[in-house]
Amino acid sequence: MPDKSERQKQTGSRDDLQIEPSRCLRIRFSDSSCERCRAICPAAALSLEEGLAISHDQCSGCLLCTTVCPSGAVEQQADFQTIIPQLRKVPEPVLGCCRTREQAHAWLPCLGGLAEEHLLALCRSLSGTLTLNLAHCNDCPNNSMLAVLKERLQRITASGLTTGGCELVTATAQTELQYQPESVDRRSFFRSFRNSLFQAAAEVVQSNARPVERNSSYGDKRLPQRRELLNRTRRSLPEEIQAAAQQFDHNLSFNTACSACQGCAAICPTGALVITDQEEHPAFLQERCTGCGLCVEFCLDQAISL
């Protein structure tokens, strides 16, 4: 059985995560029932009883928790935006896992970190066909993410949001992979070489630096990375499929029991509720709502429906 360091080379670790416990719904409101991250974690590495905590010994870096957290308390360390320019360099790009580094034009720590928002961004940012290299995933300790990722691919395709965009396919065996290395002329070669040096240096720095848990002020409002990515992507969607993107949206309403106490606006982590008038309920900004439901749980008047 491989030791801890060898297992982390094969998979990943807690260091692949960016953690901000102060944004956890259970921290913001002790009676919150949210346990999305713990429910999806195959390694039982998360605990919520005394605040958000992730075990170094158990976490294998599958990143599934980052795809369901509605407040940004757990997010990917890797910058997803940097892989899109790399994939654009070739007509038929391949996205793979950085643990294997085999036959791909760009890599993520684990493809389990691809939420539907990421898949939509890839589809609308690229052309041709994007292949997700899953050839080694069955043999990986993180293989439980395979079923989740395939289900997300099916949902995003069935929604119609991929119409007219890049086709997203998977390769679960080497024989299914149509990989062509990037071909470059002399000038492009040196530019690519320079970029590779910068990328390698960044990876060394990231691998040697242990991430520090961030703790923001309770009153700080910010959008989680996934919602920011979605909002950017949907601005470029063709008009005929804009309606399909509403599957990511939530509707919120107040009933007559609302006392306009404004507590829901204070507790909202993303700024989706904004105080406009002390005699009225807060204004609702749909593009900032992630559907976390914290306002509903917090409201003493039971005046909010989400």
Query: What is the model's pLDDT at position 50?
Result: 86
Query: What is the model's pLDDT at position 208?
Result: 45
**Mean pLDDT, 10 residues at a time, over the chain (306 residues)?**
52 88 93 96 94 92 96 94 92 88 88 97 95 92 94 95 94 84 58 52 46 70 96 93 94 95 95 87 96 97 96
C-alpha distance from residue 276 to each of 75, 228, 281, 283 (Å): 31, 24, 8, 6
H-only helix segments in the chain: 4-10, 25-28, 36-40, 83-87, 116-125, 145-158, 186-208, 225-234, 263-267, 294-298
Query: What is the model's pLDDT at position 207?
Result: 44
Note whether residue 292 is domain-resident: yes
Note whether residue 131 is domain-resident: no
C-alpha distance from residue 146 to each of 18, 26, 110, 293 (Å): 22, 28, 11, 28
User: Containing domain of residue 255, as a range?
Assistant: 249-306
Q: For the chain, how many structural domains are there in total?
A: 1
Closest alpha carbon to 37 in 80, 7, 75: 75
Query: What is the model's pLDDT at position 122?
Result: 97
Note whether residue 204 is domain-resident: no
CATH, residue 284: 3.30.70.20
Note whether residue 125 is domain-resident: no
Indicate the pairing of strand 253-254 with strand 304-305. antiparallel
Note whether residue 172 is domain-resident: no
Note whether residue 277 is domain-resident: yes
Given a contact cutoff of 8 angstroms between Cβ atoms, the answer to whether 238 and 275 are in contact is no
Given a contact cutoff of 8 angstroms between Cβ atoms, the answer to whether 225 and 76 are in contact is yes
Query: What is the model's pLDDT at position 174?
Result: 84
User: Rounded to whole angstroms, how far apart are CA atoms 68 and 80?
Assistant: 16
